Amino acid sequence: MSKDLRAETIFRPADHVAIIMDGNGRWATNRGLPRLVGHRKGAERVRQIVRAAPGLGIRWLTLYAFSTENWKRSTEEVLGLMAIFARYIEREADRLAGEGVRMRFIGERSRLDPKLQRLMAGIEARTAGNDRLNLTVAINYGGRDEIVRATRKIAEEVANGLLRPSDLTEAALAARLDTGGLPDPDLVVRTSGETRTSNFLPWQAAYAEYEFTETLWPDFTPDELGAMINRYSNRERRFGAVIA
Ligand code: IPE
Ligand code: IPE
Ligand code: MG
C-alpha cells in the first residue's frame, strides 16, 4: 500500500456515523415515569444531535428508531412511538429542508400506518435535492429482514431472466439493500451500556468501528459524540491488510 493511501486509511474521518439509540425506557423508569416520556425525551435528543452533526464533520447520519423486533412491545408503546415519528417529521420538515438535510428511511414500510408512510415519502421527496447532511432513519428495520427482501428481489430478477447468477457480486447485493447508494458506516455507536448490535446494519457495518457508552440516549450529548469521533479518528482501520 502506498504511503498516501496508508495515511488516508488510518486518519479517515467519521463520514458516516450510525447510532443505536437505546435506553429511553430505562431513562423514564429510573424517574418513575411512563416509558413514552423517555421516548419523547429521546426525540428531543435526535433534534439536537441532527443539528450538531455537520459541525462534528458528519455527512451521513443513520439512526435506529424502531426494529423489526420492537413490535413485541405493548400496543401503547408501539403506537406512541409511531406518533412520535409522525410528529417529528411534521414539526421538523421545514427546518430540515431549510438546513440542507436530506432525509431518507430504511426498513420495511408496508406494515406502517399509511399516514406515516405518506409523511415519510413526502419528506424524502421534499429534501431529495439536499446534501449538507444525509439523515437516514431506520423504522421497522431489521438487517436480516433487509437481506431477505434483497435476496427475494434477486431471485425474482433471476427467474425473469434479468440477472444471471454469475453476475451476482457484493456490489449487486448491496445495491438491492434498503441502503443502496449509501456509503457503509464508519462508526457505529450504541448508548445505554448494551454491547450488542440488535440486527442493525449487519451487512453494511461488517468493517465499522464500534463505540459503546453507558449513557442513556436521552442523556447523550453532541460533546460525547464528538469525543467518540475523536477516538475513532485515532484508530487504525486495517481492512484485513497488514499496515507497517
Ligand atoms: C430505545 O430505547 C428506543 C427503541 C428501541 C424504540 P428503549 O425503549 O429500548 O429503552 P430501554 O432499552 O428499554 O431502556
Ligand atoms: C435496538 O434497541 C433497537 C433500537 C434502538 C431501535 P432494543 O432495545 O430494541 O434492543 P434489545 O432488545 O436490547 O436487543
Ligand atoms: Mg432498549
Q: What are the structural domain ranges in the chain? A: 14-142+185-229
Q: Which pTM does this prediction carry?
A: 0.94
Residue 1 pLDDT exceeds 50: no
Residue 7 pLDDT exceeds 60: no
Task: Report residue 13's pLDDT band, with 50, 70 and 90 as the boundaries.
Answer: confident
pLDDT > 70 in the chain, percent: 95
Ligand 3 centroid, distance to 38 Cα (angstroms): 11
Task: Report residue 12's pLDDT band, with 50, 70 and 90 as the boundaries.
Answer: low
Question: Which residues hold their Cβ within 5 A of ligand 3, which is an ion?
Answer: 22
pLDDT tens for 35-47 read: 999 999 999 999 9
Name the fold adopted by 14-142+185-229: Undecaprenyl pyrophosphate synthetase (3.40.1180)
Task: Give CA 82 to chain center in angstroms.
Answer: 17
Q: Which residues pair with 224 in a beta bridge?
A: none
Residue 193 near ligand 2, beta carbon < 6 Å: no
Residue 218 near ligand 1, beta carbon < 6 Å: no
